[in-house]
Structure 1
Amino acid sequence: MSSRADDDSVEVLVIGPHRPDSGGGVNQYITEQCRHLPDRIRTRVYSVWVPPGTGLKRLVIALLTALKQMLLFPFRTPPDVVHVHSAQWNSFYQSAWYVLFAGLVWRRPVILHIHGSSFDEFLAVDSLPIQLLQSAVFRESDVVVALSDGWAEVLEGHVDPEKVIVLHNAVDASEYDPSFSVPPVRLSFVSNHIDRKGIKELAEALDRIAEETPIDVTIAGKGPLSHLAEDLADDRPGVEYVGYVSEERKREILEESSVYILPTYAEGVPIAILEAMAGGNAIVSTDVGGIPSVVDEDNGVLVEPGDADALTDAIRSLLADPERIQTMAEESRRRVVAAHSWETVTADLEALYDSLAPAPRDDADAPPGERSETRSTESHASK
């Protein structure tokens, strides 16, 4: 039974992989989402985080952890609105339980928030059981959130278009104090050191450029391919590898740099790029996912993923034109403040929750059998 009384408060149960001492864009989004919403939007977080890693032992631990979370979930008090953060493959399978239970058993409005970098590939999978599961989850979701217009178009091929809305990823731009000072031109890369983030192409491009001219680069983050950054820093003066960094140090790196590089293979709308824009950086990235919705020729350069030659040329072109970098950096900052600040996104979330939550009840003191507990079937979202 919903705990909403005769006031304008709304209780939202946020479900996703949340862990305070962990990284990841979704984890960070949930933290900031709860921090920035007004007090009348009362959030509770149900974490579905599972230990990362590979191998049979890790897989068994992850499965047991996820099963425990699912079994404990029905004993929670139903909220006014359920907000489920999800991605592709295992994340979606895990999320399916919570969407279906909240919709079919609790009869509560459900928001399914899609963050996956490869969700388009997941939707195109040729498997009838998976397709049926996708259809069931989308059917029980009152609203399906896309990160950009491009991702919305992808989803609308599989979801009722009236359910699909766009909510931008966001950062707290007020936490950044960009200098916009070029020259000198400082380059940065802050991300996981995995194939998908393009760390191989990054190392190759920077190695070529450093052979021709002095460069100033800070590489942060860690992962199975961190040896590429370590070797580059050992071989090339001006290249610094700092490993995993705190949020405070990450902001300092982005404020000090003037060009942020992320040659990724697949993304939604990466918070890392939004943070770099808030820090006052021109962006060098790839034409994938929702990145073109935030980066174009006015604030950066986009190349094809996996193309080290094009990445090298893009970086070279900016290094040769510091004035262009400054103009791009200023445009990046303007864009993120205008459309991707938490102030803007919080207002959109608040309006969405209000549209889905039941109106305050006049019969709050009535016997339980006479209270309004039915889930609204009215359409609450429009593109």
Structure 2
Amino acid sequence: MKIIMIGSHLRTTGGITRVIKNYLQGGLGDKVDLEFFPTYYGSNHIINILYFIKQYLKLYFNLVLFKKKYDIAHIHMSYRGSFIRKKYIIRLLNRLNIKIILHMHGSEFKDFFNESTDNQKKEIKDTLNKATIILALGEQWKKYYQTISKAHVISLDNAVFPKINNTLPEEKVYITTMGVLSNRKGTYDLIETALKIKGKIDPKYKFLIAGDGEVEKVKSKVKELNLEDLFIIPGWISDQEKIDEIYRKSIIYVLPSYNEGMPMSILEAMSYGLPIISTNVGSISSVVEEDNGFIINPGDTEILVNLLIDLLNDQSKIKLFEENNRNKISEKYNVYVSLDKIVSLYKSIL
């Protein structure tokens, strides 16, 4: 099988890139004849536009002039700019009768669709309908895409590599979150939580918020509230060894988001055995259940404070959640299991 996988350049940050890297590192290229084709460079707006034009022309010439053949195009798509770029590629592939798997990642796709004009909504639906199969992140997103597309929709969970974490309990001191620092991710809810919890937990525990976005604004807010002793805000971390060290020294992973798909950061944290506290948005509630963490409503900082205090004082529950999370990753959210499903899907399409 000749497969072209289309997505963001591997230099970019974020969950989509992590998914693609996991597929590549997990050996998808050993199972099929795979070519990875980036269409987004992750730089400033002008460079991104020029890069896309260059890549689109390259793809057009390869397919139309040089008659390069692909059996399937596996396209990773989000919303807004990602949708605009991919719709042109989808039109080209559709005209050439190349089968399309549209792998949807956008945590804000519902907002993107709802805020669109009637003509834009029609264009979105027409684009989705050109897919042979839409891959949705969990059953909740599957049901949503079935309401706006006639394409066949399949639920496929994100996946990560299983890990071994032998860090001693007394060395685990971080209450961690990773991603974009923003209102959408609940960053400021974490600051409010820290304000309410200060003096009620062992001072060895620190909130570690790693990521890009509103880093300086968050630091200013923490300083304004005199919470600098409770926070570590390192910015975006690209060094995998440093990320690994943070997860290993973490005791709880918190993601109080207001909308999500299926966050890779939660799965990564689970792979290290971390208990999860997150919100009932996207497909999170299908991943975080009673045996491995807690689900709250977005913005409910009172419950978040109580859960953190109770969990930090209950090492037996933390140990139980650790074991359950490692098992979940190994059995259900394992990259190697996911790759087998992907290859089976390719075969079924052909």
Q: What TM-score, normalized to structure 2?
A: 0.89
Partner of 1:202: 190
Structure 1 residues 296 and 11: alpha-carbon distance in aligned structure 2, compared to 1, 3 A threshold = same
Check conservation: 1:146, 1:167, Cα contact below 8 A.
yes
Please list, as runs of the form range in 1=range in 2, the aligned pairs for 1:292-331 lying within 5 A after superposition: 292-331=285-324
Q: CA deviation at 1:232?
A: 4.1
Partner of 2:117: 127
- CA distance in structure 2 between the aligned counterparts of 1:279 and 1:231, rounded to whole angstroms: 30
Q: CA deviation at 1:285?
A: 1.0
Partner of 1:93: 84
Check conservation: 1:179, 1:280, Cα contact below 8 A.
no
Match 2:166 to one of 153, 158, 179: 179
Check conservation: 2:172, 2:249, Cα contact below 8 A.
no
Q: What TM-score, normalized to structure 1?
A: 0.82
Amino acid at match of 2:156: L
Q: CA deviation at 1:238?
A: 5.4
Amino acid at match of 2:61: F
- CA distance in structure 1 between the aligned counterparts of 2:217 and 2:307, rounded to whole angstroms: 24
Match 1:257 to one of 245, 250, 253: 250
Check conservation: 1:146, 1:165, Cα contact below 8 A.
yes
What number of residue pairs does the alignment pair up? 338
Q: CA deviation at 1:291?
A: 0.6
- CA distance in structure 2 between the aligned counterparts of 1:155 and 1:180, rounded to whole angstroms: 41
Structure 1 residues 344 and 226: alpha-carbon distance in aligned structure 2, compared to 1, 3 A threshold = farther
Q: Specify every segment of 5 or more residues in structure 2 that has no aligned partner in the other structure, as ranges.
A: 63-67
Partner of 1:169: 158
Summarize deviations over 1:251-298 as a string: whole Å, max 9, x none: 221122121011111110000000000011000111110111100222
Bigger Cα displacement from structure 2, 85-94 vs 224-233: 224-233
Please list, as runs of the form range in 1=range in 2, the aligned pairs for 1:1-383 lying within 5 A after superposition: 10-19=1-10, 21-36=11-26, 37=28, 39-52=30-43, 58-76=44-62, 77-104=68-95, 106-125=96-115, 127-160=117-150, 163-173=152-162, 176-179=163-166, 181-182=168-169, 186=173, 187-213=175-201, 214-217=203-206, 218-229=208-219, 232=222, 235-237=227-229, 239-245=231-237, 246-357=239-350
Q: CA deviation at 1:146?
A: 0.4
- CA distance in structure 1 between the aligned counterparts of 2:50 and 2:280, rounded to whole angstroms: 38
Summarize deviations over 1:208-239 as a string: whole Å, max 9, x none: 21233324123322332345357648844454
Check conservation: 2:9, 2:42, Cα contact below 8 A.
no
Amino acid at match of 2:262: V
Partner of 2:65: none
- Select the structure with the greater relative contact order (CA < 8 A; seq sep ≥ 6): 1
Structure 1 residues 229 and 209: alpha-carbon distance in aligned structure 2, compared to 1, 3 A threshold = farther
Q: CA deviation at 1:244?
A: 2.8
| RMSD, matched Cα | 2.2
Partner of 1:4: none
Q: CA deviation at 1:181?
A: 4.7
Structure 1 residues 230 and 11: alpha-carbon distance in aligned structure 2, compared to 1, 3 A threshold = farther
- CA distance in structure 2 between the aligned counterparts of 1:232 and 1:18, rounded to whole angstroms: 34
- CA distance in structure 1 between the aligned counterparts of 2:304 and 2:259, rounded to whole angstroms: 16
Amino acid at match of 2:199: E
The residue matched to 1:251 in structure 2 has which SS?
helix
Q: CA deviation at 1:200?
A: 0.8
Structure 1 residues 121 and 241: alpha-carbon distance in aligned structure 2, compared to 1, 3 A threshold = closer
Amino acid at match of 1:149: E
The residue matched to 1:346 in structure 2 has which SS?
helix
Check conservation: 1:254, 1:280, Cα contact below 8 A.
no
Check conservation: 1:18, 1:47, Cα contact below 8 A.
yes
- CA distance in structure 1 between the aligned counterparts of 2:122 and 2:130, rounded to whole angstroms: 12
Check conservation: 1:207, 1:232, Cα contact below 8 A.
no
The residue matched to 2:98 in structure 1 has which SS?
coil
Q: Which has the larger radius of gyration?
A: 1
Check conservation: 2:4, 2:72, Cα contact below 8 A.
yes
- CA distance in structure 2 between the aligned counterparts of 1:172 and 1:230, rounded to whole angstroms: 36
Q: CA deviation at 1:331?
A: 1.2
Structure 1 residues 209 and 229: alpha-carbon distance in aligned structure 2, compared to 1, 3 A threshold = farther
- CA distance in structure 1 between the aligned counterparts of 2:178 and 2:252, rounded to whole angstroms: 12
Structure 1 residues 69 and 291: alpha-carbon distance in aligned structure 2, compared to 1, 3 A threshold = same
Structure 1 residues 226 and 179: alpha-carbon distance in aligned structure 2, compared to 1, 3 A threshold = farther
- CA distance in structure 1 between the aligned counterparts of 2:171 and 2:315, rounded to whole angstroms: 8
- CA distance in structure 2 between the aligned counterparts of 1:125 and 1:230, rounded to whole angstroms: 32
Check conservation: 1:197, 1:265, Cα contact below 8 A.
yes
Amino acid at match of 2:205: D
The residue matched to 1:258 in structure 2 has which SS?
strand
| Identity in percent | 27
Partner of 1:378: none
